[in-house]
Amino acid sequence: MHLARFPRLHLAHLPTPLEPMPRLSKELGVEIWIKRDDCTGMSTGGNKTRKLEFLMAEAVEAGADMVMTQGATQTNHGRQTAAFAAKLGMACHILLEDRTGYTDANYTGNGNVLLDNLHGATTETFPGGTDMPAAMEKAAEAERANGKTVYVIPGGGSTPTGALGYVNCALELLGQANDRGLVIDLVVHATGSSGTQAGLVTGMSALNSGIPVLGIGTRAPQAKQEAMVYDLACRTAEKLGCPGVVHREHVVANTDYVGAGYGLPTESGLAAIRMFAELEGILLDPVYSGKGAAGLIDLARKGAFEGQRVVFLHTGGAAGLFGYDFALRG
């Protein structure tokens, strides 16, 4: 496993801090640390920055003058892609799917949407249920017919190339733990389009770390989520040159905290946002990291982590708070 073999743009602020959370740990009776991937840089940071270091390097190699991606209205991935495109002098077009039906002006125009436009990206909205990959292919073809060299990034940047960013995170986290003599029993994080967990699991397995990873679902039911992560992890391991290192049982997702659906805030997710903000001064978001933390908190209270040292990987998303202010006010 030798990541230097892959093209990469060194634009992320790495390594991200690994910090204790003493007040939250005391409250929950479990030792919980946080890996600050909300601090990766590029337009307020988040987990997509690590993926985009590898994806955008491919775009540069392909001679792209335009990058295109898609996601929900408040996509963090779109915002971070727009920032990379700005930095690299590329055009950026983002296709936004209305997966929630919210008409609140902050949801449709503030938060990530505001930042997409600040970075000079163009956005186009589609009704929920649209075949977004097909819509994106169509849009890319139209731009190619105009003479553009378009690099298309699937939603969430979850390809084997993007997942290399989280293989890199596994390497970084294990290095920090080893340097400090800190034994990590479990890593917990929010999982969605699967690239984060696939990369982590592949990295942790390839390094033979023995550290399990638990993904807390934000969208799909458990069987589908685990199948997606496993499939991408296997393809990532192949790309890395270590096929077969990921076993099916390494992929574990708990999808009990999704609530009514993707992008729809839950009581437990909002409570988790308040708890992290009030006890640790850390900002989560209602779509991903808040639901991930809701799983962490509930499982800790149920005794699932007894005697363990748990690392919560903060995947970012706080820019979305300003698109969801209606859910948090009062």
Ligand X SMILES: *Cc1c(COP(=O)(O)O)cnc(C)c1O
Binding site for ligand X (CB under 6 A): 46-47, 76-77, 156, 158, 190-197, 285, 288-289, 315-317
What's the min distance (Å) between Cβ of 250 and ligand X?
16
What's the min distance (Å) between Cβ of 38 and ligand X?
8
What is the Cα–Cα distance from 13 to 35, expressed in whole angstroms? Answer: 13
Q: 191-211: b or e for each residue (b if 16 or more CB lie within 10 Å)?
A: bbbbbbbbbbbbbbbbbebeb
When the beta carbons of 107 and 288 are compared against ligand X, the nearer one is 288
Sign of CA dihedral 78, 83, 88, 94: positive
When the beta carbons of 39 and 182 are compared against ligand X, the nearer one is 39
The two most distant CA atoms of the chain are separated, in Å, by: 60
What's the min distance (Å) between Cβ of 37 and ligand X?
9
- Residue 41: Cβ-neighbour burial (10 angstroms; 0-12, 13-18, 19+): middle
What's the min distance (Å) between Cβ of 121 and ligand X?
16
Residues near 288 by beta carbon (within 8 Å), at least 6 away in sequence:
76, 190, 192, 218, 315, 316, 317
What's the min distance (Å) between Cβ of 190 and ligand X?
4
DSSP H or E segment with residue 213: strand 213-217
What's the min distance (Å) between Cβ of 194 and ligand X?
5
When the beta carbons of 58 and 285 are compared against ligand X, the nearer one is 285
Q: What is the DSSP string of 96-112?
A: EEE-S----HHHHHSTH
**What is the phi/psi pair of residue 153, to 5°?**
-110, 120
When the beta carbons of 162 and 306 are compared against ligand X, the nearer one is 162
Closest CA to 23 of 285, 268, 288, 281: 281
**What is the phi/psi pair of residue 251, to 5°?**
-100, 110
When the beta carbons of 285 and 298 are compared against ligand X, the nearer one is 285
Residue entry with tokens 């006010």: 329
Closest CA to 130 of 102, 95, 162: 95
What's the min distance (Å) between Cβ of 163 and ligand X?
8
When the beta carbons of 72 and 85 are compared against ligand X, the nearer one is 72
When the beta carbons of 94 and 138 are compared against ligand X, the nearer one is 94
